[in-house]
Amino acid sequence: MTTEHKNASATDEISIGQYLIDRLVSLGLKHAFGIPGDYILTLYKMLESSPIKLVGMTREDSAGFAADAYARINGLSCVCVTYCVGGLSACNSIAGAYAEKSPVVVVSGSPGMREREHNPLLHHKVKDFSTQAEVFEKITVATAVIEDPTRAFAEIDRVLAAALRYKRPVYIEIPRDLVQATAPRPTKAPAPLPPSDPDALREALDEAEELLKAAARPMILADVEVHRFGLQDELIKLAESTGMPIATTILGKSVVSEQHPQFVGVYEGAMGHAHVTEFVEASDCLLMLGCFMTDINLGIFTAKLEPSRCIDATSEDLRIHHHHYRDVRLDDFLRGLIARNMKLKTVPLPERSLAPRVKWVAEPDKSLTTARLFTRLDSMLDREMTVIADIGDSLFGSSDLTMGRRTEFISPAYYTSMGFAVPAAVGAGMANPKSRALVIVGDGAFQMTGMEISTIARLGLNPIVVVMNNKGYTTERFLLEGSFNDIPNWAYHKIPEVIGAGKGFEVRTETELDAALEAALANTSSFSLLNVHLAPLDRSPALERLAKRLAKLV
Mean pLDDT, residues 477-481: 74
Q: Checking DSSP bridges between strand 385-389 and strand 436-442, what pairing results, if any?
A: parallel
528 bridge partner residues: 464, 503
Report the C-alpha gap between 305 and 149 in whole angstroms: 51
> Is residue 290 pLDDT above 60, yes or no?
yes
pLDDT at 358: 63
Mean pLDDT, residues 451-479: 90
538 DSSP assignment: -
Mean pLDDT, residues 330-346: 94
The model's pLDDT over 88-145, given as tens digits with 9 standing for 90+, comes to 899 999 999 999 999 999 999 988 768 777 777 777 777 887 898 999 999 999 999 9
Query: CB atoms < 10 A from the CB of 552, how many?
Result: 8
Q: Is 456 exposed, middle or buried (0-12, 13-18, 19+ CB in 10 A)?
A: buried
59 DSSP assignment: S
493 DSSP assignment: G
The CATH number of the structural domain formed by 370-553 is 3.40.50.970
> Is residue 548 pLDDT above 70, yes or no?
no
End-to-end CA distance of the chain: 83
The model's pLDDT over 511-538, given as tens digits with 9 standing for 90+, comes to 999 999 999 999 999 999 999 999 988 8
Mean pLDDT, residues 449-457: 96
Domain 198-354 has CATH 3.40.50.1220: yes
Reported confidence tier of residue 2, pLDDT bands at 50, 70, 90: very low
Report the C-alpha gap between 341 and 81 in whole angstroms: 49
Domain 3-184 -> CATH class: alpha beta
CATH 3.40.50.970 domain extents, the chain:
3-184, 370-553
* Average pLDDT value for the chain: 88
More confident position, 296 or 507: 507
CB within 8 A of 322, min separation 6: which ones? none
SS3 (DSSP) at 471: coil
Residue of 181, 159, 183 whose CA lies nearest to 114: 181
> Is residue 446 pLDDT above 80, yes or no?
yes
> Is residue 198 pLDDT above 90, yes or no?
yes
Is-contact 76 28, C-beta < 8 A? yes
Is-contact 78 49, C-beta < 8 A? no
CATH 3.40.50.1220 domain extents, the chain:
198-354
pLDDT at 1: 37
